[in-house]
Amino acid sequence: QVQLVESGGGLVQAGGSLRLSCATSGRTFRTSIMGWFRQAPGKEREFVAGIRWSGGNTLYADSVKGRFTISRDNAKSTVYLQMNSLKPEDTAVYFCAADWGSALVSADQSYYDYWGQGTQVTVSS
């Protein structure tokens, strides 16, 4: 049974930083593409960042480029999202997701087979 468990969310002031973690189990992590998505109140879920199993292919939403960094530790079966210079508009529930069927990172959430339960990130102004 595949499980994805996010952690690291919380309340932070604008300009601050948070690091999210997503621990996976139940399937070979090192062959997966991992992604982070977020959903703000009243809005649809949107792509934030993704990383290929080798770490050599990453993709970011324009809204987070230069502020967020996705990384992975295959030995720990964990993917991270370092979020710096946070803004109130980054407030959302953040989800990690896994794709075992693609060769390259996609922002299309339909490619992702498994999802975590989400972690809340709140940025105060």
SS3 assignment for 34-98: EEEEEECCCCCCEEEEEECCCCCCEEECCCCCCCEEEEEECCCCEEEEEECCCCHHHCEEEEEEE
pLDDT digits (tens, 9 = 90+) for 21-68: 999 998 777 788 999 999 999 999 999 999 998 877 999 999 999 999
Amino acid at 115: W
| pLDDT for residue 29 | 74
Amino acid at 23: A
| pLDDT for residue 62 | 98
Measured at the CA of 12, the angle between CA 7 and CA 15, to 5 degrees, comes to: 120
pLDDT digits (tens, 9 = 90+) for 56-90: 799 999 999 999 999 999 899 999 999 999 999 99
